[in-house]
Amino acid sequence: MQGTNGRASPEETARREPELEIREMEVDDLAAVFHLGERIFTSEENPTLYRTWDEFEVTSLFNSDPEFCLVAEADKAIVGFILGTTVTKTRSAWKYGYVVWLAVAPEWQRSGLGSRLFDKLAEKMIEDGVRIFMVDTEASNRPALAFFKKKGFGNPEEQVYLTLNVKTYQEKPRRGRGSRRKQKNGTQT
């Protein structure tokens, strides 16, 4: 039913909008989460995330930290996820909550879903004794940086990712290493 001004009535809008549920990830979600990640962590948009995203990221975090693996489901489809873990240092009272992966389907971005996923994870981590949240992302990933800044993250420390092609590594002369050993032992190794 339409309102008198031709627009959808609030009831109709509510009916059309898919119900969104944020819940813990289940074993049946593993493939959907992996494939959504494949769609989002592309070599063009997120080269480092693309290189490190694989099935084992999903299965191992689900295995080690199931309570910190959350999905957003709408119309029986997975449209977002957040995967985290906690780190405790020996002889330290501090427990860190590390956001390892966060992704929202493009058609759902900028609708507050990423924020809801993070808030739910944060709530669970706080209950678990976490005192500091951590995340890392590429310096070129502006949406993610803007997102985490909006959530209150600060003190960015630069991290530089380097890559080395195996062929280049194998072709590289090993001279430097040998001469250092010679100096130390007095013999060529």
Ligand X SMILES: CC(C)(COP(=O)(O)OP(=O)(O)OC[C@H]1O[C@@H](n2cnc3c(N)ncnc32)[C@H](O)[C@@H]1OP(=O)(O)O)[C@@H](O)C(=O)NCCC(=O)NCCS
Q: Does 48 bind ligand X (CB under 6 A)?
A: no
Q: Does 40 bind ligand X (CB under 6 A)?
A: yes
Q: Does 43 bind ligand X (CB under 6 A)?
A: no
**Closest residue to ligand X in the complex (CB):** 114
Q: Does 130 bind ligand X (CB under 6 A)?
A: no
Contact criterion met (CB below 8 Å) for 25 and 63: no
Question: What are the distances in angstroms from CA 95 to CA 64, 89, 109, 136?
Answer: 16, 7, 30, 17
Closer CB to ligand X, 142 or 180, in the complex: 142
Number of helices and strands (H, E) in the chain?
A: 8, 5
Q: What is the dihedral of CA 32, 24, 101, 145, to 10 degrees?
A: 120
To ligand X, the closest distance from the beta carbon of 142 in angstroms equals: 6
Stretch that binds ligand X, among 7-15, 113-121, 155-163, 180-188 (CB under 6 A): 113-121
Closest by CA position to 45, among listed 6, 103, 100: 103
DSSP state, 17? S
Contact criterion met (CB below 8 Å) for 73 and 79: yes
Binding residue for ligand X, selected from 113, 121, 122, 125, defined by CB under 6 A = 113
Closer CB to ligand X, 19 or 171, in the complex: 19
Per CB under 6 A, residues contacting ligand X are 40, 46, 49, 101-104, 109-115, 137, 141, 143-144, 146-147, 150
